A and B are shown apart, each in its own frame.
Chain A
Amino acid sequence: APLPTAWLPALQLARRGSKAVTRHWKAMHFQRQKLLAVTEYLPPRPAVPPRCLPAQREHPQEEDGYARLLRRQVEQVFRSSRMVAVCQYNSMPDEDVVTMRYYLRKHNIEVKFVLNEIVRPVLAQSKYRNLLPLFVCRNILLVSPETRAREMLRVLKGIPQVNLLGACIDNTILSRQGVENFSRLPPLEASQGQTVGALALLPSQTSSLLQHGPSLLTALLDEHIRRLRGTAAPGEPPQEQGKG
């Protein structure tokens, strides 16, 4: 409903004191001062003061495109490589870094510098959750599509600033000792050949096994025939024995 229209006052305080607009701050009538004091702004007071409520932490909403790209790269690296070794990296002179990269490249191992704040969320969501404790300080990743641990260890032995922390080879998480043991294993082809040989041992004996009885019988009969022919005595009943 619109506010009720008011009546104009019969008396008006005019021609009193200075004009309406002055350069100085004109003194207000006391009634006006009281009116201004009554009609001051009162801010809203919530029932529970905000400082009693749990602190609202502002989570970062803007996702950096660059961070997203790096995360995608890390995921791709983990998917495409068979061997991923995590090493602690202390500051090295640049030429030493280049030399290390060169030697590792010869064995088809790539060196990747990663930021923990990008790798940690990626690992937490993938199946490599147990590698999370390794990504604490400055670190590098040595990735390779082949598993040549022996050459890698040889190269890293000559560099005191880079220390191997752990590795994930063929979806198996290995510690430092595990990697050393892994490197001392015979190469894959040799072990494959050994396994095939071990497995093929029994089937290779099958034919000789099957022929064992008849061959024994044949040998006995031959012996018997020889004895018969040799002694020229009346044929003794052949001694039949059970198949051995």
Chain B
Amino acid sequence: PAGPGGVAVPRAGLKKLVLPPDYSGITFPEKPKLKFMEKVPAVPKVRREPRRLRDIRGPSREATDFIQGQYGILALGGGYLHWGHFEMIRLTIGRHIDPKSMFAVWRVPAPYKPVTRKSLGHRMGGGKGPIDHYVTAVRSGRLVVEVGGRCEFGQVRPFLAQVAQKLPFPAMPVSRQSLQEMRREEEEKRLNNQNPWTFERIVTSNMLGMRKYLSPYDLRFHGRYWGKFFLKHRI
């Protein structure tokens, strides 16, 4: 609205009354704060295990959807979480949530996989080193923690982003809606892709003998995963 001299005269209209958010269907767990995770499992492993890095490779099959909370941290790459990471997550989230109105839940188990290290400064050989510490394997697409309660995404996102930045793999805070949105967009992109040549098509029919240069895992991963990395921009 223009006033005299062409200056805009601000005018207040009718106030749009917004209803407060409905938190009716939320069940709080017994303990709202994150459980303390042990460095070493209750029954420490005696036998040293091979490195088996395939537990990092590819998409995750477990803990991909929300269970109790509304917001969480989604892993966008594979990696190992050790006790230091667990403590960081537990303390940061514990510092920022209000236990009376919000709660947080772990979606990863305590460290179970033994990792061996040889003592520093020795030459190669002499057998496998002793167990140094334990880690948990996380694949891409898995939720690490879930936060819920009487809170909004904007409230929770800052400290979840802070935590996500400190994790050894790329991660991002998500809510139920934003995760659904992401999956829907991915599906849309897959459907309206104008490129007639897709990785999946070329690999499954082995066009141009491409499978000589690709791994049998690429049949499953369709070019979205490379080692422990997740290529978000692919299809």
Report which of A28, A31, A44 forms a contact with B210, defined as CB distance below 8 A: A31
Who on chain A is nearest to B53 by CB? A21
Who on chain A is nearest to B222 by CB? A39
* B235:A41 contact, CB within 8 angstroms: yes
Q: How far is the CA of A174 from the CA of B203 in the complex (A)?
A: 83
* B195:A20 contact, CB within 8 angstroms: no
* A42:B193 contact, CB within 8 angstroms: yes
Q: Per-residue CB proximity of A1-33 to B under 8 Å, as 1/0?
A: 001101111011100000111110110110110
* A26:B227 contact, CB within 8 angstroms: yes
* B195:A42 contact, CB within 8 angstroms: yes
Q: Name the segment of B12-20, B40-48, B111-119, B128-136 touching the other chain.
A: B12-20
Q: Give the chain A neighbours of B204 by CB distance below 8 A.
A: 3, 6
Q: How far is the CA of A70 from the CA of B13 in the complex (A)?
A: 13
Who on chain A is nearest to B193 by CB? A41
Who on chain A is nearest to B56 by CB? A21
A64 contacts the other chain (CB 8 A): yes
Report which of B78, B195, B205, B214 forms a contact with A32, defined as CB distance below 8 A: B214
Q: How far is the CA of A240 from the CA of B78 in the complex (A)?
A: 137
B178 contacts the other chain (CB 8 A): no
In the complex where A6-B204, A9-B209, A9-B212 touch, is A39 in contact with B14 (Cβ < 8 A)?
no
* A39:B202 contact, CB within 8 angstroms: yes
Our count of residue pairs bridging A and B at CB distance below 8 angstroms stands at 93
CB neighbors of A among B17-66 (8 A):
17, 53-54, 56-57
Q: How far is the CA of A244 from the CA of B10 in the complex (A)?
A: 82
B170 contacts the other chain (CB 8 A): no
* B227:A21 contact, CB within 8 angstroms: yes
Q: How far is the CA of A25 from the CA of B227 in the complex (A)?
A: 8
CB neighbors of A among B217-231 (8 A):
217, 223, 226-229
* A36:B53 contact, CB within 8 angstroms: no
In the complex where A6-B211, A20-B57, A39-B223 touch, is A44 in contact with B192 (Cβ < 8 A)?
yes
In the complex where A20-B227, A41-B195 touch, is A66 in contact with B214 (Cβ < 8 A)?
no
* A28:B226 contact, CB within 8 angstroms: yes
Report which of A6, A11, A117 forms a contact with B206, defined as CB distance below 8 A: A6
A118 contacts the other chain (CB 8 A): yes
* B201:A3 contact, CB within 8 angstroms: yes
* B205:A20 contact, CB within 8 angstroms: no
Q: Give the chain B neighbours of A232 by CB distance below 8 A.
A: none
A35 contacts the other chain (CB 8 A): yes
A93 contacts the other chain (CB 8 A): no
* A29:B213 contact, CB within 8 angstroms: yes
A115 contacts the other chain (CB 8 A): yes
Q: How far is the CA of A36 from the CA of B235 in the complex (A)?
A: 10
Q: Give the chain A neighbours of B195 by CB distance below 8 A.
A: 39-42
CB neighbors of B among A101-129 (8 A):
115, 117-118
Which of B16, B192, B197, B227: most chain A Cβ within 10 A? B227
Q: How far is the CA of A26 from the CA of B231 in the complex (A)?
A: 13
B153 contacts the other chain (CB 8 A): no
A209 contacts the other chain (CB 8 A): no
Q: How far is the CA of A130 from the CA of B85 in the complex (A)?
A: 72
In the complex, what's the smallest C-beta–C-beta distance from B138 to chain A, in angstroms? 13
Q: Give the chain B neighbours of A28 by CB distance below 8 A.
A: 226
In the complex where A22-B227, A28-B226, A35-B210 touch, is A41 in contact with B233 (Cβ < 8 A)?
yes
Q: How far is the CA of A65 from the CA of B226 in the complex (A)?
A: 54
Q: How far is the CA of A4 from the CA of B234 in the complex (A)?
A: 24
Q: Give the chain A neighbours of B229 by CB distance below 8 A.
A: 25
Q: Give the chain B neighbours of A66 by CB distance below 8 A.
A: 14, 17
* B202:A35 contact, CB within 8 angstroms: yes
Q: How far is the CA of A13 from the CA of B218 in the complex (A)?
A: 14
Which of B14, B213, B214: most chain A Cβ within 10 A? B213
Q: How far is the CA of A31 from the CA of B211 in the complex (A)?
A: 10
B189 contacts the other chain (CB 8 A): yes
Q: How far is the CA of A23 from the CA of B115 in the complex (A)?
A: 15
Who on chain A is nearest to B79 by CB? A23
In the complex where A6-B206, A39-B223, A41-B233 touch, is A13 in contact with B193 (Cβ < 8 A)?
no
7 smallest CB-CB distances across A and B, nearest first, come from A6-B206, A21-B53, A42-B194, A42-B195, A31-B213, A39-B199, A29-B213
Please name 18 pairs of A and B residues whose Cβ atoms are closer than 8 Å in the assembled complex, sorted by A.
A6-B211, A9-B209, A12-B212, A21-B78, A23-B228, A25-B226, A25-B227, A28-B226, A35-B199, A35-B202, A35-B223, A38-B202, A39-B235, A41-B193, A41-B195, A41-B235, A64-B14, A70-B14
